[in-house]
Amino acid sequence: MGSATNEPLLKTDELRTYYFLAEGMVKAVDRVSLKINEQEALGIVGESGCGKSTVAHSILRLVREPGRIVGGKILFEGQDLLRMSEAEMRKIRGGRIAMVFQNPTSSLNPVFTVGSQVGEAIKLHQNVEKQTVVEKVCDILDKVGIPSPKERMKDYPHEYSGGMCQRAMIAMALSCSPKLLIADEPTTNLDVTIQAQILDLMKALRKEFNASILLIGHDFGVMSELCDRIVVMYSGKVVESADLSTIFRDPKHPYTKALLESIPSINIQKERLHVIPGDVPGLIKPPLGCRFHPRCEYVMEECKKNDPLLVEVDKGHEVACLLYHR
């Protein structure tokens, strides 16, 4: 947030990524427009299968078969990533945009030492000598809080704990000082204390490296730790987008409201935790009209016919719901 320049660091414009399965076409990302400003942390929240990870993979153009980016633009520092050659893209990956994955222990190659893997990223993007690589690796491992990095960099991933693996992954991602760090549920597989440590680390490093962050997850608690702005996705579409405090204080979309009500609270005594009825819709044949209507408390007749557009209800607060369309 703050007073960033007018031009956002990254902007997706009507991004569409579809999966072409034998059973039919899945619109995993359906006309998603996002923007991330310099030094901003944006969070994408949604249930599993809502397309939030696919957005992340699309940005790096790492969508797996049978998925394909079928349309839209991804503007990064003013350049369309979708028009770049594979070689240019390789320079972006790891160099300008880096990614941290969900499962830290399997994100590291079991047959190489942690140090050599972090060094690999440096070798790919910077033309430096072997000795410098070792020094840089040592330095960055120290920054992410690996104890006695000089020795631990010679360890294999199985000699690291899950939290340390994630620290190492973050080190790898940050080793070339990227402008944007994409974190795809970076704390999902870690226990709560380690989760808090990793979030603190990311918060600290964000300041130090001046990087923007795209955090993907389903946990509002994690999001609130780090993000300035939240985008809520449902079934491949953005349903609401607002800054952090607004989302918590004044959620507009029924889905966002329901999500926030599902968070257990120690202050409010309730018999049962709120759940959203129904299931995530099958994406091969999504419901007509608003995709959330079969599960929505406030469903109206026209919701079943018309797909709502994203409209700005307040400054910087956009909602895609027919309740706010007049």
Partner 1 sequence: MNSKPSKKSEKGKERVHRPSRATRLFVVWRKLRKSTLAIAGLCIVVFMAMIALLSPMIAPYGLLPSGGSVEPPSMDHVFGTDVIGRDMLTLVMYGARISMYVGAAAVLVEMVVGVGIGMIAGYFGGIVDEILMRITDVVFSLPILMMLLVGVSMFEVRNINTIILVMALLEWPFMARVVRSGYLSLREETYVEAAKSMGASSWRIMTKHILPNILSVIIVLATMDIPWFILYESTLTFLGFGDPRASSWGILLENGFPHMRTSWWMITFPGLALLITSLGFNLLGDGLRDALDIKVRE
Residue 284 CB: number of other CB atoms within 10 A?
Answer: 12
Residue 80 CB: number of other CB atoms within 10 A?
Answer: 13
Please give the radius of gyration of the chain, using alpha carbons only, rounded to the nearest integer.
Answer: 21
101, 160, 220, 255: which one binds partner 1 (CB under 8 A): 101
45, 63, 69, 98: which one binds partner 1 (CB under 8 A): 98
Rule CB under 8 A: say whether 172 interacts with partner 1. Answer: yes
Rule CB under 8 A: say whether 125 interacts with partner 1. Answer: yes
Alpha-carbon distances of 74 from 53, 226, 311, rounded to whole Å: 15, 24, 21
Q: Which amino acid is at 280?
A: V
55, 63, 99, 199: which one binds partner 1 (CB under 8 A): 99
N-terminal to C-terminal alpha carbon distance within the chain: 29
CB of 29 to partner 1, least distance (A): 18
80, 135, 151, 200: which one binds partner 1 (CB under 8 A): 151
Residue 294 CB: number of other CB atoms within 10 A?
Answer: 15
Rule CB under 8 A: say whether 77 interacts with partner 1. Answer: no
Rule CB under 8 A: say whether 140 interacts with partner 1. Answer: no
Question: CB under 8 A: which stretch of 120-128, 135-143, 265-273, 290-298 binds partner 1?
Answer: 120-128
Rule CB under 8 A: say whether 120 interacts with partner 1. Answer: yes
Q: Which two tokens stand for residue 28?
A: 């995993």
Query: Which residues fall within 8 angstroms of residue 106, CB to CB, at 6 or more apart?
Result: none
Rule CB under 8 A: say whether 63 interacts with partner 1. Answer: no
Rounded Cα distance, 197 and 23, in Å: 43
78, 83, 85, 111: which one binds partner 1 (CB under 8 A): 111
> x/- contact string, 250-279, with partner 1 (CB under 8 A)?
------------------------------
Phi/psi for 121 (5° steps) reads -60, -40
CB of 143 to partner 1, least distance (A): 18
